């Protein structure tokens, strides 16, 4: 990747500073301000040399090496907007993206990383999140990122090198972890799951932490041992590209006809439907949601124990619990 011109770098520095101020205003890293330094230092534009913006005629490609100075300026300003960026499409379908920076900040804070921690990231994407971790922990082999697609891991490796970072970038099925680099103190997924892969528990130290998107929420699970763990969801919603390689069937169509309009529009109700899909039908889910005071995400949790994985409301032992795959 060749260096960008001086004007582009000037615009990038100003836009990066503005992004940090925006995340400051949301207090996204109030629990661990060291991440502010990471976002101020790591140049996001190096990780998105091009991306796609939805428009009335489909996706518009913004490119950092466009011959048009105005187009380059739009690209670099967009690279530092607090929004997710579509970075790869296949047959019109989203394959990979760079997550919303403020959400990334909240996830990194929630990961509760300490100096010297070994971290596995599942879903390499552009490499930007791995760069933030490497800035925090150093390039001494503590950070590993894995993705199924060789094209994605190769471009992530190039982006990371351009930014001066060299974490381990592995091509493989993220559901299987990276056993040759285990054990890990923390595992963070930047892709949507349907359950907690057992391999992650086996590769994470006892009292380690797994942070993973599940059913439009973020599960923070504390590992008990190689076969079990438990945790709750964070309060905020989170939407990610599905994890490739995970065994998953196409989701069943869910009809919300007959439910009050307010319920259909409530994120907390849709989260319950996503979490319990197959275990509760919409009418049962609505009755529970209404009876229990329209619970938000942080009242739900997940337990992995022995051969079983289950989600629950308020308490792991019920009375409301549902099996996960």
- Residues with active-site annotation: 96
CA distances to 69, 146, 317 from 208, rounded to whole Å, are 48, 19, 23
Strands (E), 111-201: 119-122, 143-147, 168-171, 184-189
Rounded CA-CA distance 188/199 in Å is: 13
Handedness of CA 213, 217, 222, 223 (dihedral sign): negative
Residue indicated by tokens 């607090």: 82
Rama region for 51: left / alpha / beta (φ>0; ψ in -120 to 50; rest) = beta
* Element (DSSP H or E) covering residue 160: helix 150-162
Cis, peptide link before residue 183, omega less than 30° from 0: yes
Residue 185 in contact with residue 206, Cβ under 8 Å?
no
Q: What is the DSSP string of 17-30?
A: HHHHHHHHHHTTTT
Tell me the Cα Rg of the chain: 20
């Amino acid at each position: 990747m060749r260096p960008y011109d001086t004007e582009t770098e000037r615009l990038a520095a100003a836009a990066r500073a503005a992004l940090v101020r925006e995340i400051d205003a949301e207090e996204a890293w109030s629990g661990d301000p060291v991440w502010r330094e990471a976002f101020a230092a790591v140049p996001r534009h190096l990780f998105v040399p091009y991306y796609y913006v939805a428009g009335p005629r489909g996706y518009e490609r913004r490119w950092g090496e466009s011959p048009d100075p105005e187009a380059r300026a739009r690209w670099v300003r967009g690279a530092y907007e607090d929004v997710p960026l579509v970075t790869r499409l296949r047959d019109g379908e989203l394959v990979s993206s760079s997550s919303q920076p403020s959400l990334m900040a909240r996830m990194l804070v929630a990961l509760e990383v300490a100096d010297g921690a070994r971290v596995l990231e599942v879903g390499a994407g552009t490499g930007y999140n791995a760069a933030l971790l490497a800035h925090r922990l150093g390039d001494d082999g503590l950070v590993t990122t894995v993705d199924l697609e060789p094209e994605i891991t190769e471009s992530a490796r190039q982006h990371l090198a351009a930014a001066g970072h060299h974490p381990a970038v592995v091509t493989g099925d993220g559901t299987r972890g990276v056993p040759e680099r285990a054990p890990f103190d923390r595992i963070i997924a930047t892709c949507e799951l349907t359950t907690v892969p057992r391999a992650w528990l086996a590769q994470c130290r006892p009292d380690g932490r797994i942070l993973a998107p599940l059913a439009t929420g973020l599960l923070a699970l504390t590992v008990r041992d190689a076969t079990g763990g438990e945790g709750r969801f964070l309060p905020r919603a989170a939407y990610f590209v599905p994890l490739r390689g995970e065994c998953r069937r196409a989701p069943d169509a869910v009809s919300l006809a007959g439910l009050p309009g307010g319920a259909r529009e409530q994120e907390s109700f849709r989260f319950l439907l996503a979490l319990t899909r197959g275990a509760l039908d919409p009418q049962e889910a609505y009755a529970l949601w209404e009876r229990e005071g329209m619970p938000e995400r942080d009242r739900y949790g997940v337990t992995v124990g022995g051969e079983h994985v289950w989600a629950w409301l308020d308490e792991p032992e019920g009375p409301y619990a549902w099996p996960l795959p």
